[in-house]
Amino acid sequence: MLFRISALSLALSAAIAVSATEAELEHITVKGDFRQQDLQRLAGSVAVLSEQDLQRQSVQHLDDALRQFANVNFAAGASRGRFLQVRGIGERSEFIDVINPSVGILIDGIDYAGLGISSLAHPEQLEIFRGPEATRFGTNALAGMVNLTSKAPSAVAEGKVSATVANYDSWQLTGVYSAPISEQLAYSLTLDQNKSAGFINNAYLNRDDTNNLDEFTARLRLDYQALAELKLGFTAHLIDQQNGYDAFSLDRNRTTLSDEPGQDKLRSKAVAVTADYHGLALADMFTQLSYLNADSDYGFDEDWSYVGIHPWGYSYQDRYLRGREQWTLDYRLTSKTDGQLWGQTDWVVGLYASQRDLSLSRLRRAESRWRYFDSSLERRNLALYAETQSPLTDKLTLVLGGRVERYRDDYLDSGNISLRPNETLWGGKISLNYQLNQQAMLYGLLSRGYKVGGINGEALARAGEDRFAQLAEKASFKSESLLNAEFGVKGSAADGSLTTRVAAFYMWRDDMQVKGWLNPDLGPEFAGFIDNAASGRNYGLEAETRLLLSPSTQLFVNLGYLQSKLGRYQTDSGLDMTGRDQAHAPRVNYSVGADWYLTEQLTLQAGVQGNSGFYYSDGHNAKAGSSQLLNLQLGYQLAQWELAVWLRNALDKDVGVRGFYFGNDPRDEYAPHVYEQFAEPRRFGATISYSF
C-alpha cells in the first residue's frame, strides 16, 4: 500500500513540476519549527490555519477546528474535547492516573499538555504537527503537537472586536488590539468571553444549563527591542473556565436525570519571558522561560440519576481536584552563515528543562460513605537536542535530528505508597528532501518518538479490595516508543491556483500504552489503569489541497486514511483485542469546503466534515457511528464592518465524542449498554465584527 501511495505522490509532483516557473507564491511560515521554514519546504506532515481560515467555518474553540484536519480526532468526557488523537494515537480520559499526553498543546510556547484548552479568538496561527516530533518537542509529541500562536504586537495601532449570538442562550464577545507604546515597545491584547446554556436538558431538575459553558480567556504579548541585536518578549495568559458537566444520559440521548450535576472548572495563569539575541558571530541565541499554575475541579454524578429512580438504584458522586505548577526552560543556538559546519551545514543545539508538580485530591461519595484519595507527583525533565541540515546537491538536503531526555518522578499518595521511577529516553529523525523547483518538493522521513511511563494510582489504591485484587499487578506501566516512516510531496501550481500536500506513513508502536478497565460485574463499580500492549501499527495517508477554480471560487479538500492495529493484547475481563483497530482511530475522515465570492461584499462558505465509525476504547468493543456535518456561513462586508450568519451541524446529527460500555441503569437490572456523550447539535447564530 505504501508503494502505491508513493507512486501516486511521485506522479502528482511530476505534474506540478512540468508547469513550474519562477512565479512568486504565497508563503506560510511554520512558527513551531526551529528555523520557522516555509510550510511547502518543511519535511513532515504539518497543517496550518490562519485566523481567516478559522473564520470560514465559524470556529470559536479548538473543538470546532479539529474536524478540519486529516487524521485528527478528539475525545470529550468533559465539557470540552480535552483529549486529542493524531493518526489514531492519543489519550481519551484522565481520572486518578496522571496521563502523559501523546499529543501536546503549546500556546505561545507555553506547555498546556494535558489541560486540553484553547479559545481560538483572533489567533495569529494554528499548526498541527502529525507524527512523532521528539527532536523539536520531546515526550509530549509521540503522535504530534498542536501549536497555537497569539496575535503578535504590531508597529501600527490596529484592532478588531466581535460579538456573537446563537441558539442555546449562547453569546460571545471577543476583541484584539495591538499598538506600539514607543519605538522599541509594542503590545497586543486578546480577550474572549464565551457563554452558553449548553446542549443538555436535565429532566429531573427541570434545567437546561447543567452542561453550560462559561469561559474567559485573556492573552497579552509585549515585544521590546532593547538593542539592535536583542529582542525581549513577555507573554501572560489567564484562563477562567466555570463550565458545568452533565453529559451522559441513562436514556442515551441529550436528556439527563442526574440530581447532582457535575462541574468542569479550571483557572490557569501563565507567564513567559523570551530573549532573542542576534549579536553572536556564529549563531543566534533564543531563550524562553515560562511558568504555569493551574487548578481544576472536575466532577460528575456517577449514577446519572436521582435518589428514588428505582429500588435498585444507587447514589454516587465523584470529584477530582487537581493542582499543577510548572517551570519550563528552552535554550538554543541556531547557526548563522558564518557558523555553518564545513561551510554548508546549518545546525541547532539546545537544552530543555522542566519541573512539574502535580497534586490530586479525589473525593468520592458512595451512598453516605466518603472515600478520599490524595497523591502528589513531582516530575523533572532534562533534555539535550540537536538538528543539522546539510545540502548534498543543489536540490537534495539531508536533515538529521536527535534528542536525549532524562526524567525522574517522585510519587507519594495517601496510601503511603512512594515510588521514584526514572528513565533516559531518546528520539530523532532522518530526512532526505528533494526540491524539484520552487514549486515542488519530495521528502522521505524516518523519525522516532517516545512517551514516558508512569504510575497507576487508582490500581494501587484499590488493589486491597477483594474484587480488585488483580490490580496489584498494574502498579505501573512502561514507556512507549514509536517509529515512523513517511514519504511526502508538497507542491504548488506556478500561477498559485493549486496547492497540495500528500504524506504517506507507516508507524510501529512498541509497548504501546492502552487504557484498561476492571469492571467485575459490568455494574457501576469499576477501576481504570494504564497498561502496555505488546505493539501496534498505524499506517495511512494525509492529503490537503486548495484549488482556485475561478477568481470567485476556491475549493479546500482534506482527506485522511488510517489503518490501525493493536498488537498482542488481552483485557483483564478476558477480551482478546489482538489485531483489532485502535480506539478513536477512524479509518477515513475528510473535510471539504468551498468559498464563493458572490459580489465584492457578499461571500458564501460551505463545508462538509465527516469520518467513519471507530471504537471508543481498547478495553471494550463499543463503537461510534460514522458522522457527516454540514456547515454554512453567509458573510457581508461593508468597509470596516463584517456580518456573518452561520449554521453548524445543519442536519442536526448526533455525533459521539466519548463512549463507555457497562451497566448503569437500575430500571433494566444494570444491563450493559453503550453510553455516549454527543458533540453539539445544530447551532445557528450571527457574528458582527468591526476592524479599526
**Using an 8 Å Cβ cutoff, are 313 and 666 in contact?**
yes
Integer angstrom CA distances of residue 344 from 146, 338, 391, 485, 498? 32, 9, 7, 27, 33
- In CATH terms, 2-691 corresponds, of 2.40.170.20, 3.40.640.10, 3.40.30.10, 2.60.370.10, to 2.40.170.20
Write out pLDDT tens, residues 432-446: 999 999 999 999 999
Which pLDDT belongs to residue 472? 80
Helix (H) or strand (E) holding 134: helix 134-137
Q: Give the burial class of 278: count Cβ atoms within 10 A of its Cβ; 0-12 exposed, 13-18 middle, 19 or more buried.
A: middle
pLDDT at 96 (0 to 100): 87
> Tens digits of per-residue pLDDT, 5-36?
444 444 444 444 444 333 345 689 999 999 99
How many whole angstroms separate alpha carbon 10 and alpha carbon 122? 38
- In the structure grid, which three cell numbers stand for residue 133, read together? 516530533
Three-state SS at 13:
helix
Q: pTM for the whole thing?
A: 0.94
Contact 303, 204 (CB under 8 A): no
Q: Write down the pLDDT at residue 7.
A: 45
Q: What is the pLDDT of residues 514-567, one digit of tens each?
A: 888 787 765 567 788 888 888 899 999 999 999 999 999 999 999 999 999 998
The grid coordinates listed for 660 are 463507555
What average pLDDT values come out for the chain (692 residues) when binned by 10 residues? 47 44 64 93 95 84 92 95 95 88 96 85 94 95 96 96 98 98 97 98 98 98 98 98 98 98 98 98 98 98 97 96 98 97 97 98 94 94 98 97 97 90 97 95 98 87 79 87 98 93 98 83 73 91 97 96 93 88 97 95 96 94 96 96 97 96 94 96 97 96
pLDDT, position 203: 98
Per-residue pLDDT tens over the stretch 77-98: 999 998 999 999 999 998 888 8
Per DSSP, the residues of 456-504 read -HHHHHHTTSGGGGGGGGGSEE--EEEEEEEEEEEEE-TTSSEEEEEEE
